[in-house]
Structure 1
Amino acid sequence: MALNPGKRAFPMTSIRSILATWALAVPAAATAQSIPVAPMAAPPQAGAIPLGTGGVAEMPPESWFTLAGRPTVRNVATATLLPVLPDKANATGAAVVIAAGGGFVMESMEAEAMKPARWLADHGIAAFVLKYRLDPTPAPMEAFKQAALARFAAAAAAGAKGGASVAAPPAALADAQAAMRLVRAQTTRWGVDPRRVAYMGFSAGAIMGIDLVKAAAPGTTPDLFAAIYPAMAPTPVPAGAPPLFVAVASDDELFGKQGYGLPESWRRAGGAVELHVYERGGHGFGFDGKPGTTSAGWNAALLGWLGAHGWLTK
């Protein structure tokens, strides 16, 4: 099944925007052949727990590859949750479910999932990496690259200048909800306080987190929500929304023209907001931030915010 540009086009302002999401610096006129992609074997995923949320019709086999050296996965048909737990002596009892970005056609599993998970565990916080279901893409790598560029080019042509936000695919949202329920249901197993389960999402993963809060299904609303370069358009926010942390660059190629509608919507609904806007960094600066810019310090701000809400103490 090829990507359908009109099906659920992820709003991009240029082809360069999606390449920035992949942390690649290439000209806007780049062809699919210029994108440095290399196939890789699926990494060990021992301990990953199937969420039992179902499959995806017409899905080719799951495929792992590197983009700029970053392990990435596509064609995910079975959602899983991988616990990355702290040393018991240092565990605080707090937890964070993590969802990477990738436009709902891939997931940046190292830079936006495993790396922050290990960092959280080092600080005593139980981390849970969500590998959620994606839209199908063509199995051959060259066909995938061509189809992905066609999809993003079509979205760019639509020209969402400060346009409305987007919604997560229903399957991905259901996976996030299942992940939140599972962590809270297995608190004894993992030593987690069910009242201290946060959610952190990057780009598409952050969009999914916004929808997670808006859906407010029983047992699925996070106690804290960290949105890293999310869609920034205004959106309805329910009463009782959790404290929100946002880290974004002012030169974000995807959402930089949307202003600050997301945190403003949160404030108007009575929710607490911490907003960090970095002068430069673009979209997709990852857990380490973009070298040479102040976005490289964003995770220190996140740590302070988590500490202020009691995630670093027992």
Structure 2
Amino acid sequence: MQQTTWIFLMTFFLSLHGVAQKQISLWKTEILPNYQESNEKEILRETDIKFIRNVQTPSIEVYIPSKKNANGKAVLIMPGGGYSGLAYDWEGTDIAKWLNSRGIAAFVLKYRLPQSASVIFSHKAPLQDAQRAIRWIRYHANDYHVNANQVGVIGFSAGGHLASTLGTHYDTTIYNKTDEIDNLSARPNFMMLIYPVISMQDDITHKGSRRNLLGSKPSNKLTDQFSNELHVTQDTPPTFIIHSADDKAVPIENSIRMYQALVKNDVKSTMHLYPTGGHGYGMGLDNSNAPNWTKQAEAWLNTLP
């Protein structure tokens, strides 16, 4: 075999190996909580975005900045999709690349969807995966040049609901400990909520997200449990919020009520409300009416310890 051909093949296979190593399962199959066998298969639909349904193996995809640029911060990214799927690149991997450009390690969470046939209790699965993911990042912090005390979360739309659920229910025991990873804290050090679903209350919630997470007729107890504005305390992490007034999918009142609860509990928080932008604009690059929120977010991130 000619040397140039050998080098090409070695480079090709090494690159494949590197890509494969980025996607890391959060649980060993035998310890995956809240799971039952089914014939369901994961579905990836690719149009102008990658949209994933029926997640079977919850995982994180790792994006790391160069050592020279790394500042020690890490962010767990939760794409939205109404708890029916994940806008995986639009609100996931694209966000990871932006964070890397700011020296921040990024981990895109592929979390289980609550109505999956492989899930036993619908409302538990996303939070189980979110708690496990942030603990996993802390456990492996040294491997990725991350400060374990500077691990935050960002969520979009229904992913914003999951992020705010993690930020207000981080100490809720929602699965039994499985290994050393689960001894670590699941509390984010900061939260970034982008056009988020916050509340499950009937007057302001996103009905599709609530139906997928809690079912068609949730009890008042379950509704209140996952209305995250009701669970803010002084220990809730510092929070950054973005929302647009003309959001027809997720009413802006979700963010307003969350911000009011944060202020009431003396949590360091910043909220930017914009007149236009609608819903689901990701980084806002394709929408001239969307806010240029990443600049605001970068400035806010620089205020954190």
Distance in 2, matches of 1:270 and 1:57, equals 45
Counterpart-to-counterpart distance in 1, 2:192 and 2:36: 28
SS in 2 for 1:256: coil
> In the alignment, which residue of structure 1 is the partner of 2:124?
170
The CA deviation string for residues 166-212 of structure 1, in whole angstroms up to 9 with x for no partner, is xx821010100001101111111111101100100111111011111
Give the whole-Å Cα distance in 2 for the aligned partners of 1:225 and 1:286: 17
Q: How many residues align?
A: 236
- Name the structure 1 match of 2:284: 288
Which of 280, 300, 308 is the aligned partner of 2:303?
308
Deviation at residue 256 of structure 1 after TM alignment = 2.0
Q: 1:67-78, aligned counterparts within 5 Å?
A: 67=47, 69-78=48-57
CA separation of 1:81/1:47 partners in 2, compared to 1, >3 Å: closer, same or farther? same
**Residue identity matched to 1:80:** S
TM-score calculated relative to the size of structure 1: 0.71
**Segments of 4+ in structure 1 off by > 3 A?**
53-59, 135-138
- Cα distance in 1 between the residues matched to 2:114 and 2:165: 17
Residue from 107, 110, 130 that aligns with 1:131? 110
What is the one-letter code of the residue matched to 1:223? N
Relative contact order higher in (CA < 8 Å, ≥ 6 apart): 1
- Does the alignment pair 1:194 with 2:169? no
Change beyond 3 A, Cα 1:277–1:59: farther
Match of 1:227 among 193, 211, 214: 193
**What do residues 284-314 of structure 1 show as CA deviations (whole Å, max 9, x unaligned)?**
111235522141x11111111111114xxxx
Q: Please say if residues 114 and 124 of structure 2, whose CA atoms lie closer than 8 Å, have aligned partners that are also in contact.
A: no
Q: Give me the whole-angstrom Cα distance separating, in 2, the residues matched to 1:90 and 1:59.
A: 44
**Structure 1: segments with no counterpart, 5+ residues:** 1-43, 139-167
Alignment TM-score, normalising by the size of structure 2: 0.73
Greater helix content: 2
Specify the alignment match of 1:93 in structure 2: 72
Q: CA RMSD in A?
A: 2.0
Displacement of 1:76 after TM fit?
0.1
Deviations 1:138-192 (A, max 9, x none): 9xxxxxxxxxxxxxxxxxxxxxxxxxxxxx8210101000011011111111111
Query: Does 2:205 align with 1:205?
Result: no
Aligned in 2, Cα 1:45/1:71: closer, same or farther, shift over 3 Å?
A: farther
Cα 1:257–1:302 shift into 2, 3 Å: closer
Question: CA deviation digits over 1:189-240, x for unaligned, max 9?
Answer: 1111011001001111110111112213261111110001112544221221
- Which of these two proteins has the greater Rg computed from alpha carbons? 2
Whole-angstrom distance in 2 between the partners of 1:232 and 1:188: 33
Q: Choose from 282, 294, 301 the match for 1:299.
A: 294
Deviation at 1:123, TM superposition (A): 1.3
Match of 2:46 in 1: 66
One-letter code aligned to 1:48: Q
The one-letter amino acid of 1:62's match is E
Percent identity (aligned): 29
- Distance in 2 of aligned mates of 1:176 and 1:59: 24
